[in-house]
Amino acid sequence: MALLINSLCINCDVCEPACPNQAITQGEEIYIIHPERCTECVGHFDEPQCVVVCPVECIDKDPAHAETEQQLLLKLLRLQEESA
């Protein structure tokens, strides 16, 4: 399941460099997680790094993008193939 940044985001920019998949960018009003690149950090870390570093706890699971761990790993493999 990809994660989703909610409207409490204070645009602090801490999460963007912490993401191993370059899944976070600055949006028009708040930061955005791109679901096609977010693997919940599966394959990289035990915990979602954006959630770990966010000072205001404004990152939730995105119910619109439910995925199993296997699907997340497949997404990671696809991302790695794209960047190879």
Figure out which of the listed residues 58, 67, 75, 79 binds ligand SF4, where binding follows CB under 6 A.
58
Figure out which of the listed residues 1, 33, 67, 75 binds ligand SF4, where binding follows CB under 6 A.
33
Residue 2 to residue 80: CA distance in whole angstroms: 17
Find the shortest distance in angstroms from Cβ 70 to ligand SF4.
16
Q: Binding marks (x or -) toward ligand SF4, 2..21, rule CB under 6 A?
A: -x-x---xxxxxxx--xx-x
Q: Does 72 bind ligand SF4 (CB under 6 A)?
A: no
Residue 39 to residue 26: CA distance in whole angstroms: 18
Residue 22 to residue 34: CA distance in whole angstroms: 9
Report the DSSP beta bridge partners of residue 31. Answer: 26
